[in-house]
Amino acid sequence: MSHSAVVVETVDLDESGWLLDADTGEPVPNHRLHDYFSERLAPPAWATDIFVYAHGWQTSPRSAHRTAERLLNLAHGNLALAPDRYPALAAEGFNPWCVVVRWPSSSPVTPTGYRRIRDRAHAMGARNGGGHAAHILSRLLGYLDTERADPGAAPVLANGDGQYLHLIGHSFGCRFLCEAVQWAADARLDDTLGWSAASRSSHPFTADSMLLFQMAARRDAFLSLFSCILPSEAHDGAPLKGPVVATYSRHDRATGFWHLRAERQPGIGHSGIGPAPAPMFTTRLLPLDERYPLSALDHRFVNVDASDVYVRGRHLSPAGAHSDHVRPESAHLLLTLADYSR
C-alpha cells in the first residue's frame, strides 16, 4: 500500500517528564499508560517505518510537530527524486509514521535560559532525581515494539520485512531518548537488522537506528551517562543494535560557547561525541548526490560533521546553527539509515 502523506502523532510530557492526557491535560495514571498508548498510538498497518522524534530547546508544541513533518516530507522528496540511492526503500516502499515527544522547552534565548532548560532536561530524565521522562519513553518504545509488525515475520502488512523503528532526537531531546533506551523493557524479537555482526547483540530490542541532531550533552556522555545503549563485552543486553549517529557543527553556538561555560567542555552538537565505550568513526554530512557507503555508517558510534551545511543562524542567532538540522541533507542521512536497516 502506498501512503504519500506524512502522518505525525504527538505525546506531551509535563516538567517532571510524566505523560499528559491530550484531552484533559491531566497526568495519565501509571496503570493506564498501556491503554492510553493503545487508544492513541496504534501503529497503522500501512507504515513501513515508525519514527519517534524528541525535540530540543526553544521549541513550541506546534513547532515540534511541524519540524518532524518537514523532515519526513524532505525524506519523501529525496526518495522520489533519486530512488537508486536507497535501493531497499525503493524496492519495499517507504511509508513513515511518526510520534513526536513534546516537552516544555521554552526559555529566553540567553545563556541563563539555556542553563535553565539544561537543568530541566536533566531533572526530567534523571531516574534518581524523581524525573519520569526515561520511564515514560521506555514504556512508549516498549509498546511500539510490541505492537509493530515483527520484521522477522514476513510477509506482513505493508511490506515483506515488517515495520522498522527509528529514534531521532534534537538537542536536549537526544538525552531523553538515550535515557529511555537504557530503561527500555526487554523485548525479544528475531534478529533482522542489516547492520554487521559487530553491531549486534543477543538481545534484539526496538531501535533499528538512532540519529541525534546537535545533541546537548557533554562529549563524554556515552561513557558517563549512556554507557549501556549498545552491546559490549560487559553488557550484551543492550536494546539498540544499529549505530548511534550524531551530527555536529562548529557553528552551533548553543552547544559550543554556552555549553563550554556551563559544563567546562563543548557539547556533542558542537564538537561530536568524544570518549566512548567503542571505536568512533567520523564522516561528513553528504550532499544529496552522494550515497553513504555502508562502511561509513556501520559502526557503533558515528560522528557526522555538518559544519559545511548547518550554518544558518551562525551570525544572527544567539544559539548559532543549533536548530539548522531540518535540511534535505539531514533527510538523506535519515533515509540511508532506514535503508541500511533492512
Domain assignment of residue 1, yes or no: no
| CB contact set of 253 (below 8 Å; sequence gap of 6+) | 270, 314, 317, 318, 319, 320, 321, 322
**Domain assignment of residue 208, given as a range:** 7-340
Mean pLDDT of 239-253: 89
Q: Does the residue 2 lie in any domain? A: no
Instruction: Tell me which of 199 and 240 has the higher pLDDT.
Output: 240
What is the pLDDT, as a whole number, of residue 224? 86
| Nearest-10 crossing angle of helices 133-147, 33-40 | 50
For residue 128, what pLDDT is reported?
65
> pLDDT tens digits, residue range 289-312?
999 999 999 998 999 999 999 999
Average confidence (pLDDT) over 80-102:
94
Question: What is the percent of the chain where pLDDT is above 90?
Answer: 52
pTM for the structure as a whole:
0.88
Distance CA 237, CA 213 (A): 25
Average pLDDT value for residue range 263-286: 91
Question: Distance (Å, rounded) from C-alpha 268 to C-alpha 109?
Answer: 20
Confidence class of residue 199 from pLDDT cuts 50, 70 and 90?
very low
57 in a domain, yes or no? Answer: yes
pLDDT higher than 90, residue 249 = yes
Q: In this structure, are residues 118 and 124 in contact, taking their beta carbons and an 8 Å threshold?
A: no
Report whether 74 contacts 326 (CB < 8 A). Answer: yes
Determine, yes or no, domain membership for 332: yes
Asked whether the beta carbons of 57 and 216 are under 8 A apart, the reply is yes
Q: Is the peptide bond before 328 cis (omega within 30 degrees of 0)?
A: no
Q: Is residue 155 part of a domain?
A: yes
Rounded Cα distance between 160 and 152, Å, is 9
Cα angle vertex 195, ends 237, 271, to 5°? 85
Cβ contact 240:210 at 8 Å: yes
Residue 137 lies in a domain: yes
Q: Find the largest Cα–Cα distance for the chain.
A: 53
Kindly calculate the radius of gyration of the chain based on its CA atoms and give it in whole angstroms.
18
197 in any annotated domain: yes
Q: 106-163, pLDDT tens digit by residue?
A: 888 777 888 888 888 888 887 666 789 888 888 888 788 778 876 554 333 333 446 8
Residues 6+ away with beta carbon under 8 Å from 144: 37, 41, 43, 50, 52, 99, 165, 206
Query: Binning pLDDT at 50, 70 and 90, where does residue 232 land?
Result: low
> Cell numbers 549498545 label which residue?
230
Task: Give per-residue pLDDT as tens, 51-71.
Answer: 999 999 889 999 999 999 999
Q: Determine contact, residues 296/281, Cβ cutoff 8 Å.
A: yes
Residue 66 lies in a domain: yes
Q: Are strands 19-20 and 7-13 parallel, antiparallel or unpaired?
A: antiparallel
Segments in 6-60 forming alpha helices (H): 33-40
Distances (CA, A) of 163 to 166, 242, 294: 10, 15, 21
Please determine, for residue 164, whether its predicted confidence score (pLDDT) is greater than 60: yes
How much is the mean pLDDT over the chain? 83
Q: Bridge-partner residues for 210, per DSSP?
A: 167, 244
Number of domains observed in the structure of the chain: 1
